[in-house]
A and B are shown apart, each in its own frame.
Chain A
Amino acid sequence: MSQRIPLAWLQLRHEKMKLFAAVSGVMVSVVLMWMQLGLLQALFASAIEFHGAVNGELVVIHGQYEYLLRNQPFSSRLLHRILGSPAVQEVYPIYTQPLEWKNPWTGQLRTIQCYGIDTDKPAINLPQLAQQLSLLQHTDAFLYDRKARPGYGPVLEEFARGVTIEPEINRRKMTLVGLTNLGASFGVDGNIIVSHANFLRLVSERTAGHIDFGVIRLKPGADVNELQAQFQAILGTEVDILTRAEFCERELEYWRRATPIGIVFTTGTFVGFFIGFIVVYQILYTDVTTHLPHFATMKAMGFTDGYLFRMVLTQSIHLAFLGFVPGTLIAGLLYTGLRSATLLPLQLEFSRGLFLLAATILMCTISGTLALRKLRTADPADVF
């Protein structure tokens, strides 16, 4: 459009209240979509925080592994079969089990996820874990999750003040020696990390030979997929050997299948889209109706239908951008608030931003296109 005068924009901003209403509508819709998609993504991301952090390219799990909290241990002797492979650098056995934490301040019981790892090898890739491994060698020592939900007591505050924290975990008095970051998720409110020896002290029913995960770290340059197939053949059908990505995917698969989370938040996203669509449609429709005599005048003077259509569509795209920017800013603020309240890993991701911008433009364009039907009723012969 050879726009010398930005007619679309001038018409749109002429009525400030209407413009404000339309932009607010788009904004609310954008905020809703950010929240729904953000929570969905964060909930899923939080469920695989451990899985993504294992310090190796391949992970051995029990063939009937369902999800983190319903796992079956397998014999660690299986791992010996592949230790001899020249491509294998290290193998890290990991134990895990939900335990009962007794809040030292209130006496309330709460479940906490416990990981048992080698103290000489960093089986999980977490900041500052490697430096603290030696601390875990002490009897009954544990690392506490900085991103645990409240409910375990004012652990972080008291620990920072230098108070010795000695909660009862599975009726055994343990000593906090350091902090780590693993994060809460759907099923887990907080985590602790202990040594293999302390794990077996804490969980008397578990035996040393039966582990939950075997993390395999390969030598640099090794062909992951080829070794995966090779090791699977060696290990047999009792266990599955997965790449780290497949390990994450297996966990997510459970949450997608077992919970309505995906449906709930996807529906929420559509609701946001629909709200924006209705608001923009209403505004553009009444706008076209109000300006119908002007459009008819322009038609009479020789402006084409296409010119007027582009005007209305340009307006919808203006609305999309005007609503998207503040909507994204508000979503950013809400994310920050929710991050500290829920400890979920909410992020304004660039790719999701692009997706939402496209969705917003689509939403406004559909509304504009529907409002255009009204434009056809502008009869230039009526202007005389």
Chain B
Amino acid sequence: MTSSTAAPIVSGAGINFSFGVGELRKQILFDVEFAIQPGEVVLLMGPSGSGKTTLLTLIAGLRTLQAGQLNVLGHSLAGASRAELLALRRKIGFIFQAHNLLPYLTALQNVQMMFDLHPEVSPAEGRERAVRILEQVGLGERMLYYISKLSGGQRQRVAVARALVCNPEIVLADEPTAALDGASGREVVNLLQSLAREHQRPILMVTHDARVVDIADRIITMQDGRLINDLQATENLTRMSGIHA
């Protein structure tokens, strides 16, 4: 189902990326090539410093591409303008390692504010959609709570709702379970997966968490800035756990 003939939603080739200049220059990514198909849930795994997060920020249009080709949601990122990167980011649902919710807003307001990026949605409709998605993530009772009054798992569920409420074309998640205990992490990942599946939305998730590999359609593994493995999850899960043990 994933190795379809449809055009990939994200595709990259020959991506090199370095931080610093001159003597201090340090190359992070080496000749990375990959693709994500529509509707696919892809995990990006690998040890710390392997370049996963840097690759994620490149896909998200948060860093300037230095070399290679990268196409995301129909935008070619080589030489893209700031305005174009901004337009791209508005089509992406972001989930961060720490929930990154605004502490001065309630759960509902945190979700609802995303519609400020989409003026075509009326305030009433925005509110309605925010309420609905918070009910879907099981926070119908706690919508009016401030973030400080919610548990870690609940916060990350608000973050999931915020990422999905505006119907993004792809969800980028950076270790969404890192700050959570096993059960809460599981719950968040399940939610994310079911919501994304429901709307046929692809997910690219950077994770260390071997406990969640079962949600993946495909797992990309990186090491020292190189892509060392790109496996269909169905191929061999045992082999996977071997690599990440």
The smallest C-beta distance from B103 to any residue of chain A, in angstroms, reads 7
Q: Are A381 and B57 in contact (CB under 8 A)?
A: yes
Q: How would residues 109 to 120 of chain B score, 1 for a CB under 8 Å from any chain A CB and 0 otherwise?
A: 100111111010
Across the two chains, which residue of chain B brings its CB closest to A307?
Answer: B116
Within A1-56, which residues are at the interface with B (CB < 8 Å)? 1-5, 7, 10-11, 13-14
Interface assignment of B213: CB less than 8 Å from any CB of chain A: no
Contacts of B114 in A (CB 8 A): 301
Are B100 and A293 in touch, CB under 8 angstroms? yes
Is there a chain B Cβ closer than 8 Å to A300's Cβ? yes
> How many chain B residues touch the partner (CB < 8 A)?
31
Most buried by B among A7, A13, A307: A7
Min CB distance A74 to B, Å, is 73
* Chain A 289-331 interface residues, beta-carbon cutoff 8 Å to B: 293-294, 297, 300-304, 307
CB under 8 Å from chain A, chain B span 153-195: 174
Complex alpha-carbon distance, A129 and B225, angstroms: 97
Question: Are A5 and B105 closer than 8 Å at their CB atoms?
Answer: yes
Question: Do B100 and A3 have beta carbons less than 8 Å apart?
Answer: no
Interchain CB contact (< 8 A) of A384 among B62, B86, B117: B62
Number of contacting residues on A, CB 8 A? 23
Partner of B109, one of A2, A5, A293, A297: A5
| Residues of chain A from 348 to 384 with CB closer than 8 A to chain B in the complex | 380-381, 383-384
B89 at the interface (CB under 8 A from A): yes
Within 8 A of B (CB), among A171-210: none
CB distance B100 to A2 under 8 Å? no
A384 and B57: CB pair below 8 A?
yes
User: Known contacts A10-B105, A380-B62, A384-B56: does B100 contact A302 (CB below 8 Å)?
Assistant: no
Closest residue of chain A to B127 (Cβ to Cβ) is: A4
Residue B123, interface by CB 8 Å: yes
Comparing B26-34, B90-98, B226-234, the segment that makes contact with chain A is B90-98
Asked if B102 contacts A294 (CB within 8 A), the reply is yes
> B60 near A: Cβ within 8 Å?
yes
State whether B62 touches A381 (Cβ < 8 A).
yes
Residues of A that sit less than 8 Å from B by CB: 1-5, 7, 10-11, 13-14, 293-294, 297, 300-304, 307, 380-381, 383-384
B interface vs A, CB < 8 Å?
53, 56-57, 60, 62-63, 86-87, 89-90, 92, 94, 96-97, 100, 102-105, 109, 112-117, 119, 123, 126-127, 174
Top 5 closest pairs, chain A to chain B, by CB: A14-B104, A302-B90, A302-B89, A381-B62, A4-B123
